[in-house]
Structure 1
Amino acid sequence: MNLFSQELTVVNVGLASFGENVARAGGAVTTLDWRPPAGGDPARGLELARLVGHPEVDQANAVAFERYQAAQPRLVDVQIARDAIPAMAEQRLILHAGPPIAWADMCGPVQGGIVGAILYEGWAQTPEEAETLAAGGDIAFAPCHHHDAVGPMAGIISPSMPLWVVENAAGTNRAYSNFNEGLGKVLRFGANSSEVLDRLRWMGTELFQTVRAGVRQLDGLELKPLIAQALHMGDEVHNRNAAATGLLFKRLLPSLLSVDVPGEALRRSAEFIAGNDHFFLNLSMAASKAMLDAAADVRHSSMVTAMARNGVNFGIRLSGTGDRWFQAPANPVDGLFFPGYTIEDAAADLGDSAITETAGLGGFAMAASPAIVQFVGGTPADATENSRRMRAITLGTNPVFSLPALNFGGTAAGIDARAVVDSGVLPIINSGIAHKEAGVGQIGAGITAAPPECFTQAIGALAADLGVSA
């Protein structure tokens, strides 16, 4: 009977209105935002229960996470795509962002980028001819990820484009990414005008030759320390790369001055790099892929090694399930729109740049970059909370990528698909927003999350591989 004479203190699980009634009656109440794991699917919930604490999964995750942490991404060269990617020397191949998708199903920006790439390669003379060629089956399309590459937004890579070559010095894997074009009318947002093509041709000749000379003179540039320093200077190396680009420029310029590069070519290249705060983005993506590919193919591991979007679907890969993609419709991006645009104008989430979040950067490192909220929305406190919340779904932290706002604790890293399905906490991604029509360009930036269905599918596949399916 003493219970009924004590002050009422309630923990409310479920509908918030239950707790509100207790509070109105004068009781103290704490409401928990709890939902059944796996979206309430009994079969997936049972599989999750069998996978949580599974010794083979835990052991595999320890191996995969250690390989990720041990990876040392190093910029070693700049090459033309056909020289770096063997398949491009054998066929007319264009790479795109995200999981596999057919031409007819592609969103506007990806189709527009492919049309621009066809014109850039000289395979067609007009956009109409390029579209006919793309639809006719004479050109092969594949995800960048299928060829050790990544590309932002539409992610278009064609045979004549220059690529960063990033090598894992602690292993044997390499990763590639294209050069960043800057903002405005650019191929990665589906633009393919003569202005865009002229810039690409200059990037594929003069800029390529200049930057390659400088990179080769450097004889290797360690990217992990550079990224770590940029995090302490206010970047999160996804949507804010101002510090990282400056640090790269600081290393590259003395090297360029010591090689035989024509003065005007050097001036134009230096002005282009200095005027493009996003220039380092593609390098941060290649570095992230090099680290995550080092963790790939560890049988039974539930660690996520890729998250990518093609403007239609969002896909993830697990270390323990090989090259399989687990896909769901891509979410819209909730954020700040440029004047005159709304979410009705926006394409769905797009690009391979979520590889940065997969590696513990980008949205996972927002605590390092309070200024990013001016671009993607929210407050500095929101940015810090995002970084804290991601620790609930990862295998650990990366002490190399430390966050001053979190007492120099490491970024959350090593997304565990089990933890995502169990907790309902979804990986956060900050991203640019592309117009749904080709060529309009970027219309905003904001925050989105990976769809939960990708992770429940992955858990089902992992359970089947281990023989513990419901």
Structure 2
Amino acid sequence: MRQDRLGNLLSAQLSVVNLGLEAFAEPLRRKGVRVVQVDWKPPAGGDQKLAQAVMEMREKRGEAIEKANQEAVERILSARPTLVGIGQALLDVPGMGKRMILHAGPPVTWERMCGPLRGGVIGGILYEGWARNPEEAVELAVSGEISFEPCHHHQAVGPMAGIITPSMPVWILENKTFGNKAFATLNEGLGKVLRYGAYSKEVIEKLKWMEETLAPVLTKGLSLRGEVDMKSLISQALQMGDEGHNRNRGGTSLLFRELCSAMVQSDAKREEISQVLDFLHGNDHFFLNLTMASAKCSMDPSAGIEYSSLIYCMARNGTDFGIRVSGLGDRWYTAPAPMVQGLYLPGFSEEDAAPDMGDSAITETYGIGGFAMAAAPAIVKFVGGSAKDALTTTRRMSEITLAENNAYQIPYLDFRGTPTGIDLLKVVETGILPAINTGIAHKEPGIGMVGAGLVKPPAACFLDAAHDFIIKYL
């Protein structure tokens, strides 16, 4: 019997499970051997002292941490993000200055900005009329007359470059549970747009049209329609195949239904209403900025809770990737922004790509986006991978989160809630990094979007934060 089993084993097709470096698997694949790659990393990045310290932290402070994290999660789950209006950045965004430009990610100076972020700044200066051409815009940017600050420091978020200038119209969202607000610009669409670092004449003209036509028509419609419950819309969008970051067709369609009748009934000019409806119909990503602002105002109340290891913010600016941890206050923990692995538009390749950028990772921090990919199998056509990968990603994120969302559910997982509340200590213990899906900008300013894909944050910022968390609380 044993000999028969041994013969069957030797005659069966060989399969290999490879842990660690994928380079070890490639020679076997070339010889036709089936290889299963396991994405495994040692706990605490291989730092045994840190791993031991985390275990000690669990033993000595586990009860306090669990209680703090439970409070943080309850604040997230009880949030009620609501669209209440459209305003102007200078008048409505807290602390916005007349010569200020907000950008995505952690703080960064002009000297350290990546190409597309510089392109966004140039476009923002041209849009405001502070310069007559790109050359003058660069001179102004380096002069010190313009202040650059993160959107997150002003209760705001912005996709990709995340540029917000004083004259831009902004969505105003309020968390009805806690009374805090969040702000975001209106979405331009895909391709050659400001948030991807483009600043050509047509880019600026579209931004002006959004300020002078789109925002006023939407405002009139919203004033007739009244406030919009964003949590309900996002929940419905997940049932329609969105994940809330890179696929927003369902959410945009729902918003269209909410506002269309009210806009038509308003006293806006018929021609302008027609332009706005055509723009919304042709921009499947229009809902993204609203999703981001919803996530922002839902996450902010979870900040500043003593002993909480919840990560309440992830953002990147094309130079740095940064996180903020509830129990560590408003400090940024940063590491170099990684490159995105994905699909490219015709004529472009990874050689053209800028590093990861944008505040849109607030969606993953909130428990949607890459954490909800199982709800949106069609997203893989945009960012790469397979439908099975989407399911695997969502399941994997459950290993580093604190709860399942009670509002955002995934049909393909028997309506389980999305993994919500990234736990810094679980990230360190497991070596599993948050999954983010994102767009890709050209590395040079002025060109725009070149693709989309998936990205893993750098482990270093999580390890650095864990060191400080242990020093503070152990």
TM-score (ref. length: structure 2): 0.91
Which residue does the alignment assign to 2:468? 461
Contact 1:326 1:455 in 2 (8 A): yes
SS at structure 2 position matched to 1:77: strand
SS in 2 for 1:315: strand
In 2: Cα distance, 1:33 partner to 1:432 partner: 23
| 1:79 counterpart letter in structure 2 | G
Pair 123,409 (structure 1): closer, same or farther in 2 beyond 3 Å: same
Q: Which amino acid aligns with 1:61?
A: N
User: 2:385 aligned with 1:378, yes or no?
Assistant: yes
CA distance in 1, matches of 2:285, 2:37: 42
Q: CA RMSD in A?
A: 2.1
| Structural mapping, 1:49-68, within 5 Å | 49-52=55-58, 54-68=62-76
Q: CA deviation at 1:184?
A: 2.0
Aligned to 2:275: 268
Q: Report which stretch shifted further, 290-299 or 389-398.
A: 290-299
Q: What is the letter of the counterpart of residue 277 of structure 2?
A: A
Asked if the contact 1:51/1:418 (under 8 Å) is kept, the reply is no
**2:303 equivalent in structure 1:** 296
SS in structure 2 at match of 1:400: strand
1:406 paired with 2:413, answer yes
CA contact (8 A) 1:118 1:124 kept: yes
Q: Name 1:79's counterpart in structure 2.
A: 87
Please give the secondary structure, in 2, of the residue aligned with 1:261: coil
Gaps of 5+ in 1: 1-6, 21-29
Query: What secondary structure does 1:284 align onto?
Result: helix
In the TM superposition, what is the alpha-carbon distance from 1:64 to its structure 2 partner? Answer: 0.4
Q: How far off is 1:294 after superposition?
A: 2.0
Matched-pair contact (CA < 8 Å) for 1:52–1:418: no
1:145 corresponds to 2:164 = no
Residue 451 of structure 1, CA deviation: 1.2
Alignment partner for residue 245 of structure 2, among 234, 238, 247?
238
Is this contact kept in 1: 2:440–2:449, CA < 8 A?
A: yes
* Unmatched 5+ stretches in structure 2: 1-5, 10-16, 26-35
Counterpart among 93, 101, 104 of residue 111 in structure 2: 104
Alignment of 1:19-38 (within 5 A): 35-38=41-44
Partner of 1:23: none
Q: CA deviation at 1:367?
A: 0.5
TM-superposed CA distance for 1:427, in Å, is 0.3
3-state secondary structure, aligned to 1:331: coil
Q: Residues 85 and 35 from structure 1, CA distance in 2 versus in 1: closer, same or farther, beyond 3 angstroms?
A: closer
Quote the residue 2:337 is aligned against.
330
SS for the counterpart of 2:302 is coil
Kindly indicate whether the alpha-carbon contact (under 8 Å) linking 2:86 and 2:172 is maintained by their aligned counterparts in 1.
Answer: yes
The answer on whether the counterparts of 2:90 and 2:98 sit within 8 Å (CA) in structure 1 is no
What are the within-5 Å matches in structure 2 for residues 314-329 of structure 1? 314-329=321-336
Q: Who is 1:3 aligned against?
A: none
Instruction: Tell me the equivalent position of 2:48.
Output: 42
Separation in 2 of the partners of 1:103 and 1:261?
Answer: 41
Deviation at 1:463, TM superposition (A): 1.4
Per-residue CA deviations over 1:190-249 (Å, capped at 9, x if unaligned) read: 111111111111111111111111122222100111111111111111111011100000
Cα deviations across residues 357-387 of structure 1 (Å, max 9, x unaligned)? 1111111111111111111111111101101
Distance 2:216 2:92 in 1: 15
Instruction: Give the aligned length.
Output: 448
Aligned mates of 2:115, 2:361 — CA distance in 1 = 20
| Letter of the 1:302 counterpart | S
User: Matches of 1:238 and 1:181 in 2, distance apart?
Assistant: 15
Alignment deviations for residues 91-126 of structure 1 (CA, whole Å, 9 cap, x no partner): 411000011111010001000110111111111111
Contact 1:391 1:412 in 2 (8 A): yes
How far 1:13 moved relative to its partner? 11
Which residue pairs with 1:117 in the alignment?
124
- CA–CA separation in structure 2 for the residues paired with 1:112 and 1:44: 40
TM value normalised by structure 1: 0.92
Equivalent in 362, 368, 392 of residue 375 of structure 2:
368
- Contact map agreement 1:91 1:140 (CA 8 A) in 2: no
**What SS class does the counterpart of residue 95 from structure 2 fall into?**
helix
The answer (yes or no) to whether the contact 1:13–1:34 under 8 Å persists in 2 is no
Task: Find the residue that maps to 1:150 and give its secondary structure.
Answer: coil
* C-alpha deviation, 1:15, in angstroms: 7.4
Report the more deviating stretch, 310-319 or 336-345. Answer: 336-345
Instruction: From 429, 434, 459, give the equivalent of 1:452.
Output: 459
SS of the residue 2:428 aligns to: helix
Match of 1:422 in 2: 429
Tell me the residue number matched to 1:310. 317
Contact 2:248-2:285 at 8 Å conserved across structures? yes
Task: Quickly say closer, same or farther: Cα 1:221–1:108, change in 2 above 3 A.
Answer: same
The question of whether the paired residues in 1 share the 8 Å contact of 2:20 and 2:41 is answered with no
What do residues 390-437 of structure 1 show as CA deviations (whole Å, max 9, x unaligned)?
A: 000000110210000101000001000100010011100111111101
Query: How many angstroms apart in 1 are the aligned matches of 2:57 and 2:263?
Result: 53
* 2:247 is equivalent to residue 251 of structure 1: no
Q: Is the 8 A contact 2:372 2:410 kept in 1?
A: yes
Shift in alpha-carbon separation, 1:129–1:65, aligned structure 2, 3 A? same
Letter of the aligned partner of 1:47 in structure 2?
A
- Tell me, in whole angstroms, the C-alpha distance in 2 between the residues paired with 1:117 and 1:216: 28
CA–CA distance in structure 2, aligned partners of residues 213 and 147 of structure 1: 26
